[in-house]
Amino acid sequence: MDAAVLVAAGRSARFGGIKKEYRPLGSGIVLDAALRTLLSLPTLGKLALALPPGELDEARKRLAPDLAAEEGTRLVLVEGGAERSDSVRLALEALERWSPELALVHDAARPWATRELCLSVLALAGEKGAALPVVPPVDTIKRVDAEGRVLEHPTRASLGAAQTPQGFRFAPLLDAHRRAARDGVPSTDDSELWARYEGPVFTVAGERSNRKITFPEDLEP
């Protein structure tokens, strides 16, 4: 059995105080779309939705009725923590009693990730231990210092923009999150923690359409 963690971030001032995950998308909301993709995976046993503290009831009211009805069967709602890494750890701990083999960690603000991408990440994670999708950068990237001086001109061929979902063997990922919490290591990316505590991370081809909603205009076609 595989498991998944879907992380809904905190409120964003860019969206007028309304969570971007609750914005309309298609026939539902952004959160509905991200949930449906993960719940469609054939090997998925449990899905933990990590929400900011105090927001579980609000999510229950906003979810599509058929998705809200999944709570208690495949869907587990988890009250997250102050930081994204805290929320992921708490969600993994909520899933631990089912002893999943693999876990996908996905941002709810990426509602356009396809089922095929999720399956590709899971397959490589099962083989290598950790996998994430990347896309080649469109712009030429420069490394700069605090004064704005260019320090390095890396070639685009050596760079990749990371996306989610990211896939991992479940038990080592939970251990990495627990060790990071004990060590006070901050992180906004699960693959960074895996690389720090567990080993190498491998990549699959990402999807240009799998963009992250950050600004209101990101919801436009």
> For 153-185, how does the pLDDT look when each residue is reduced to its tens digit (9 = 90+)?
988 888 899 999 999 999 999 999 999 999 999
* DSSP result, the chain: -EEEEEE-----GGGTTS-GGGSEETTEEHHHHHHHHHHT-TTEEEEEEEE-TT-HHHHHHHS-HHHHTTBTTTEEEEE--SSHHHHHHHHHHHHGGG--SEEEEEETT-TT--HHHHHHHHHHHHHHSEEEEEE--SSPP-EE-TTS-EEE---GGG--EE-S-EEEEHHHHHHHHHHHHHHT---S-HHHHHHHHT---EEEE--TT-----SGGGG--
Quote the Cα angle for 70-177-189, to 5°: 80
User: For all residues of the chain together, what is the average pLDDT?
Assistant: 94
- Answer yes or no: is 219 within a domain: no
pLDDT band at 21 (very low <50, low <70, confident <90, very high): very high
Least confident of 35-39, 115-119, 148-152, 181-185: 148-152
Beta pairing class for 202-205 and 130-135: parallel
Determine, yes or no, domain membership for 218. Answer: no
Asked, for residue 48, whether it belongs to a domain, the answer is yes
Query: How far is residue 212's CA from residue 108's CA, in Å, rounded to a whole number?
Result: 9
Domain that holds residue 134: 2-210
CB-CB contact of 21 with 109 (8 Å) = yes
Give the C-alpha separation, 198 to 130, whole Å: 9
Among 194, 195, 173, which residue's Cα sits nearest to residue 92? 173
221 belongs to a structural domain = no
Q: Which pTM was predicted?
A: 0.94
**Tell me, what CATH number does 20's domain have?**
3.90.550.10
Residue 103 is which amino acid?
A
- The count of domains in the chain is 1
pLDDT the model gives residue 16: 64
Range of lowest pLDDT (4-18, 80-94, 123-137, 197-211): 4-18
Q: What is the pLDDT of residue 221?
A: 65
Distance between CA atoms of 14 and 44, rounded to whole angstroms?
Answer: 33
Percentage of residues of the chain with pLDDT beyond 90: 82
> Is position 135 within any domain?
yes
Q: Which pLDDT does position 139 carry in this prediction?
A: 85
Please state, in angstroms and rounded to a whole number, the distance separating the CA atoms of residues 5 and 80: 11
217 belongs to a structural domain = no
